[in-house]
Amino acid sequence: MQLRKLLNKELGCQMNKVVLIKSILLSVFILCVYNIKVRAQNSYQVSDFNVVVGKITDDEGNPLPGVTIRIKGKTIGTVTDGGGNFVIYVKKGDELIVSFIGYSASEIPLKDQPASLNANGLKITLNYKNILHVSGEEVRESPINVFPFPPLSGYTLAVLDNEIFDKTETLGQMDKVLIRALTSGGYDERSYFIIPDGFALVTRIESITDDGSSIFNSERFAINELKSPTFSDFFAPRSGLFRMFAFIVTNKPFNPSLKDADFEALKKLSRVGYNILPSDLANKKKGKDYFCTVLVYEFVSTKPNSKLTVQSAHLTAYEHLQRSKLLLKLNSK
């Protein structure tokens, strides 16, 4: 009798172990299936994300500025610049809707190859630039390094004297001139973006004084919102003014975008983008028609912990360049 009890007890323990092992194996199997499913959902085909770079003209080949291009069923859109050029990023399966005063709206299906087509009297040229990179066995989405072009409105601008770049022959050499001045001025963190036939170089948002001078302390680039006041603030109140520089290098004239800038959009531009100028752009020859335009966006925070907002510039772009010492450094040979 005692032997039977011992055997039953031992058998019960063995069965419990088997059940436990089966439960563990089942859990591992479910977890693996879930991970495979999630991984598949977060993986993309190489053609899923692309930058569309296009140009729109009339029947006679004259560029049309102000043409609206938007993605069907979405709020994402842009307008052509003074040369009829535009840049927009899309996903696989998107369609573009092109509309312009005096012309019927057209729906343009996107394909994987460059295309030239005539849509209700508008000549449209489309090219594609892939913006994915492969990491290991997965294809992951890379940062969309496309600067809104035409630039978001709300800036003050200055076109730099071409003599600053008179000894440069490539866009990479123009970039070195800018980097030398920015580094000397303490602008060590920057972001690069693709624009038609050129690049945009964006600085971090910095805190400035009322007269536009840079504030050289540990919080120069750390302040995106005013913090709670400290004891020292009662003796030296902070101005709550901020700015961001964007250097636009291209041979394409442009007007401000119809879309107003907002702090969150500009803050994102100051934090994402390429860390260096891509080699294909750096090696691109600089023609005589290339120029560098400096855009300056101003922000204000009216009270502690309040969100920053874009404000109309109280200084000209040249004044910002002078007060930041960048103009002096750019003109230094």
Which domain CATH number covers 121?
A: 2.60.40.1120
Is there a single domain that holds both residue 229 and residue 291?
yes
What's the number of domains the chain is made of?
2
Q: Are 91 and 70 in contact (CB under 8 A)?
A: no
Could you tell me which residues come within 8 angstroms of residue 4 by beta carbon, excluding any fewer than 6 positions away?
none
3-state secondary structure of 86: strand
Q: Find, among 64, 190, 57, 51, the residue nearest to 128 by Cα.
A: 51
- Both 169 and 271 in a single domain? yes
Look at residue 37 and tell me if it is in a domain.
no
- The answer to whether residues 277 and 135 belong to one domain is no
Check residue 301 and give its pLDDT.
85
**Exposed (0-12), middle (13-18) or buried (19+): which is 77, by Cβ within 10 Å?**
middle
Instruction: Verify cis geometry, omega within 30 degrees of 0, for the bond prior to 150.
Output: yes
pLDDT of residue 252: 87
- pLDDT digits 0-9 by tens, 230-246: 544 444 444 488 999 99
Q: Of 116, 141, 166, which marks where a domain is finished?
A: 141
* Per-residue confidence (pLDDT) for residue 78, from 0 to 100: 79
Which pLDDT does position 236 carry in this prediction? 42
185 and 302, same domain (yes or no):
yes
Q: Tell me, yes or no, whether 303 lies in a domain.
A: yes
Q: Model-level pTM greater than 0.75?
A: no
Amino acid at 56: I
pLDDT at 38: 34
For residues 177 and 325, membership in a common domain is answered with yes
**Do 121 and 231 belong together in one domain?**
no
The dihedral sign for the CA sequence 112, 116, 119, 124: positive
C-alpha to C-alpha distance for 109 and 140, rounded to whole angstroms: 24
Identify whether 32 is part of a domain. Answer: no
* Domain identity same for 296 and 253: yes
Q: Which domain holds residue 162?
A: 156-330
Cα dihedral sign for 154, 155, 156, 162? negative
pLDDT of residue 1: 54
Spans of the chain below 50 pLDDT: 3, 5-7, 11, 17-20, 24, 28, 30-49, 131-144, 224-229, 231-239
What number of other Cβ atoms are within 10 A of residue 132's Cβ?
A: 16
Give the residue among 59, 68, 65 at the shortest CA–CA distance from 98. Answer: 68
- Domain match, 289 and 319 both: yes
Determine the pLDDT at residue 164. 95
Domain final residue, candidates 141, 170, 196: 141
Q: What is the pLDDT of residue 23?
A: 54
CA distance 246 to 317: 11
3-state DSSP: the chain helix, strand, coil percent, rounded to 5? 25, 30, 40
